[in-house]
Amino acid sequence: MASVETMTALSPAAVNSASLPLLDPRAPVGIFDSGLGGLSVLRAVRAQLPDEALVYVADSLYAPYGERDDDFIADRTLAIGEWLVAQGAKALVVACNTATAQSIALVREKLPIQLIGVEPGVKPAAQQSKTRVAGVLATRVTLRSARFQDLLERYASDCRFLCQPGLGLVEAVERCDIGSAELRALLQSYLQPMLDAGADTLVLGCTHYPFLDAAIRDIVGDRLALIDTSIAIARQLERVLDQQGLRSPARDASPQPRFCSTSDGAHLKQLAATLLDIDAPVERVHIPSRRTLTPDSHAA
Ligand code: DGL
């Protein structure tokens, strides 16, 4: 994998291909995130694999995941994975660092399709930082997860990582705020200490954050190289589909994604139109799960 690529590719090897059901290469790929951030992954997947049909689920009713407990995140990830399997998905991209960190191992055991997860690009940051100081912006759940701590242990021996929870950033993107004065002030408060400490690299450890790249650039200029996960994830998906003989045959035109949201979907529609230039309807879907069956679960 080229050094500019972002994530450590998460091996799909835990799935025994002999146990996979007979899948149709024309079936869709499921992509899921707690909310709108996974659209940054969907954008890269469409660019890399234009013939693939895609079903995107935004669990916006329960976003952000970054402040939820581990069991809640695993519960939602499994329920949405099962729902996507029922919709005929041939593979699942967990386009959420937080859900990957907390639940991919468990969910992988339970679903009969290949899962591709994401994790912050600590490895490429360690490879390319010249000052040997790199910032990591990610959710609090991702930063405290055992999976992320393992990553740091592997790559932080000669590179200092400044880990900053991006409190408030997911919420901003969820309301389609990618450049307000308040958001810029928040970003400044997270990024200035990294600049002051001599960082030259910034890991965008949450799939929502690539949508903040212009606001980040306005603050840091060229002083930080931004490490984004999306292109590497798309390439990993391509490898997995090839290994399984599940690449879609060529189509006359790139199919329009099917967009689904557990909330009203208005912001999903807006962000897809303004940032991805995709004007598609959004279906409101109800995906029950053990932890969301109680009436007050919105505040869980
Ligand atoms: N896009 C998700 C991630 O990559 C955001 C998690 C959240 O909802 O807090 O971690």
Express each pLDDT in 254-292 by its tens digit.
Answer: 999 999 999 999 999 999 999 999 999 999 999 999 999
Answer yes or no: is 3 within a domain. Answer: no
Give 89-112 pLDDT, tens digit per residue: 999 999 999 999 989 999 999 999
Q: Judge whether residue 238 has pLDDT over 80.
A: yes
Asked if residue 12 belongs to a domain, the reply is: no
Q: What separation in Å is there between the alpha carbon of 174 and the centre of ligand 1? A: 10
Tell me which of 229, 251, 272 is where a domain ends: 229
Instruction: Flag whether pLDDT at 1 surpasses 60.
Output: no
Each residue's pLDDT tens digit, 52-77: 999 999 999 999 998 899 999 999 99
Q: Is residue 57 part of a domain?
A: yes
How much distance in Å is there from the Cα of 99 to the middle of ligand 1? Answer: 7
**Lowest-pLDDT choice from 8-12, 171-175, 202-206, 283-287:** 8-12
Residue with tokens 């399997």: 85
Atom of ligand 1 nearest to the CA of 95: 4
The answer to whether residue 191 sits within a structural domain is yes
- In this predicted structure, what is the pLDDT of residue 19? 58
What does the block give as tokens for 291? 């932890």
Picking from 193, 214, 229, the residue at the C-terminal end of a domain is 229
Full residue range of the structural domain in which residue 145 is found: 122-229
Same domain assignment for residues 74 and 51: yes
Residues 130 and 220 in one domain: yes
- pTM of this prediction? 0.91
Residue 22 lies in a domain: no
**Beta carbon of 66 within 6 Å of any ligand 1 atom:** yes
The neighbour count for residue 171, using CB atoms within 10 Å, is 17
- What value does the mean pLDDT take over residues 167-188? 97
pLDDT one-digit tens code per residue, 18-34: 556 688 999 999 999 99
pLDDT for residue 67: 83
* Number of domains the chain contains: 2
Quote the pLDDT of residue 293: 86
Q: How far is the CA of 4 from the centre of ligand 1 (A)?
A: 22
Same domain, 131 and 257: no
Is 159 a residue of the active site? no
Clarify whether residues 209 and 276 are in a common domain.
Answer: no
pLDDT in tens, 200-215: 999 999 999 999 999 9
Q: Are 99 and 198 in a shared domain?
A: no
- What Cα–Cα distance (Å) separates residue 257 from each residue in 57, 152, 245, 279? 11, 35, 22, 10
Q: Are residues 114 and 242 in the same domain?
A: yes
- In 3D space, the residue among 7, 32, 18 whose CA is nearest the CA of residue 82 turns out to be 32
Is residue 154 in some structural domain?
Answer: yes
Residues pairing with 134 in the sheet: 161, 201
Q: Is the pLDDT of residue 148 over 80?
A: yes
Residue 208 CB–ligand 1 contact under 6 Å: yes
Task: Please report, rounded to a whole number, the percentage of residues in the chain having pLDDT higher than 70.
Answer: 91
For residue 9, is pLDDT > 60?
no
Residue 34: CB within 6 Å of ligand 1? yes
* Distance of alpha carbon 185 from alpha carbon 266, whole angstroms: 26
* Ligand 1, atom 2, residue with closest C-alpha: 96
| Probe residue for ligand 1, chosen from 61, 94, 136, 139 as the CB with the greatest number of ligand atoms within 8 Å | 139
The residue nearest atom 9 of ligand 1, judged by CA position, is 66
For residues 138 and 106, state if they share a domain.
no
Name the residue with higher pLDDT: 4 or 156: 156
Q: What is the CATH number of the domain that holds 208?
A: 3.40.50.1860
Residue 156: what pLDDT?
87
Has 176 been annotated as catalytic? no
- Give the pLDDT of residue 5: 28
> Do 111 and 244 lie in a common domain?
yes
The dihedral of CA 157, 236, 268, 56: what is its sign? negative
CA distances from 198 to 86, 156, 160, 190, 224 (A): 49, 16, 10, 14, 10
- The reply to whether ligand 1 has any atom less than 6 angstroms from the CB of 97 is yes
Are residues 251 and 103 part of one domain? yes
Residue 83 CA to ligand 1 centre (angstroms): 20
Question: CA 198 to CA 223: how far, in whole Å?
Answer: 9
What strands, in cross-sheet order, belong to the sheet with 133-138?
Answer: 160-165, 133-138, 201-204, 225-227
Q: What is the mean pLDDT of residues 21-50?
A: 95
Across the range 175-187, mean pLDDT stands at: 97
Tell me, yes or no, whether 175 and 93 share the same domain.
Answer: no
33 lines ligand 1 (CB under 6 A): yes
Do 132 and 221 lie in a common domain?
yes
63 lines ligand 1 (CB under 6 A): yes
